Structure 1
């Protein structure tokens, strides 16, 4: 009751507000005072994750989204022996930078097709999980999505990665490079396949971007782009 009286006083004293501003205040007040069902909370969290995926995909799928950012996929440690030895072999002196560009361009291409895979995974969030996620850690929704869906996502996403790697001729190029390396006397033979490694790195980058978007929605009121998001995360704010 005290909140309602205080709010009424504020409305009468803010004579300089225009109609649009006043309406926003009224909308916000209605959102805060409305009770939320667990179904609405679950729907809001799924919406937040969906928004995070969309923005994450947009960020990473642009040119250089992986290649020239902190998400750049590097070769696994064991592959460093390959590139160091091949620098002395004609045709492979610049093998590391060539393959890095190819695999990162492949990741940028593949991530464009990730949205439907993630959206399907998001639907696995249950109503029972919703409240704990909402009032949990700042990355609780992304962590839940990771824990519940990561392994199935790897299986679904790897064919997308392979298609993109083939588009950029990354697999054949790296296989040729590794085969040339394996012919060097006394070296430990290497497996030329990188698909699973690149899939895991690409997904790791995408989950990280989703987590950043979740944090933004939790901490930045302006990032809550729909009425449902504003109402759900107002509960997290303790309003």
Structure 2
């Protein structure tokens, strides 16, 4: 198969999934060179990633982006479950709820950090990266961006999470709860690294939403909001 036809077929697979393989794929115009076809496919892929990441940041960085989304809402740490039950019994249920709410607020504030990191990862894509994503599975773009950006995102998230948790009163709520729990006899001591926990949960939630946005662009023509996406991926 000529190289430009292969590139066009792979682009369609990225968007429509395996079902699209059985559909006829019109080639690029015969007047276009293979290199021009490759450039358009690569540009369309970057456009898809740009659209998907912008939507992801918009969804997670808003108020209730985490707290109001059951799929990514950050729960109390597992280690805190037993403590929460004990604390609720002694009338501290409101503080326990405030702790969970403030952790999610911190994640929402940190999510805006992802915009520039994702943009840099998309700009730095090489031809080999483009073809790896096109040949990958249904979440290939999300996995690529996580591989390329998670380390930098973690570095950016941690100070923001720490600052926002402080501003949201996480430590002010958690420390008295921890101290109250640790004074109860015959119970294991509670001492959590909340910064790390919230950062880990925030990043997991971010990439969960990104995978959802990737799936939308693959499956739903209405999600292809730019002319280039409709032109290339509509084939």
Tell me, yes or no, whether TM beats 0.5. Answer: yes
CA displacement 1:178-224 (0-9 Å, x = unmatched): 12212222221121431111111111111111111112112222322
Secondary structure of the residue that 2:93 maps to in structure 1? coil
Mind listing any 5+ residue stretches in structure 2 that lack a counterpart?
1-25
Q: 1:150 to 1:113 in 2, by over 3 A?
A: closer
Paired with 2:123 and 2:182, the residues of 1 have a C-alpha distance of: 46
Change (3 A) 1:40 1:167: farther
Q: Which residue of 2 aligns with 1:11?
A: none
Instruction: Label 1:232 to 1:135 Cα distance change in 2 as closer, same or farther (>3 A).
Output: farther
TM-score (norm. length: structure 2): 0.76
Which structure: larger Rg?
Answer: 1
Structure 1 residues 19-70: Cα deviation after superposition (integer angstroms, max 9, x where no partner): xxxxxxxxxxx99535545444334323222211211121122222211222
Q: Relative to structure 1, is the Cα distance of residues 160 and 232 closer, same or farther in structure 2, using a 3 angstrom cutoff?
A: farther
Q: Does 1:110 find its partner at 2:105?
A: no
Aligned length: 205
Q: Please say if residues 99 and 174 of structure 1, whose CA atoms lie closer than 8 Å, have aligned partners that are also in contact.
A: yes
Measure the CA separation in 2 of the matches of 1:221 and 1:135. 20
| Alignment of 1:197 onto 2:197 | yes
Q: Which residue of 2 aligns with 1:76?
A: 77
| Cross-structure match for 1:95 | 95
Q: Is the 8 A contact 1:42 1:126 kept in 2?
A: no
Aligned to 1:152: 152
RMSD of aligned residue pairs (Cα, Å): 2.4
**Which segments of 5 or more consecutive residues in structure 1 lack a partner in the other structure?**
1-29
Q: Conserved in 1, the CA contact under 8 Å of 2:62 and 2:108?
A: yes
| TM-score, reference length from structure 1 | 0.75
Residue of structure 2 in register with 1:133 after alignment: 133
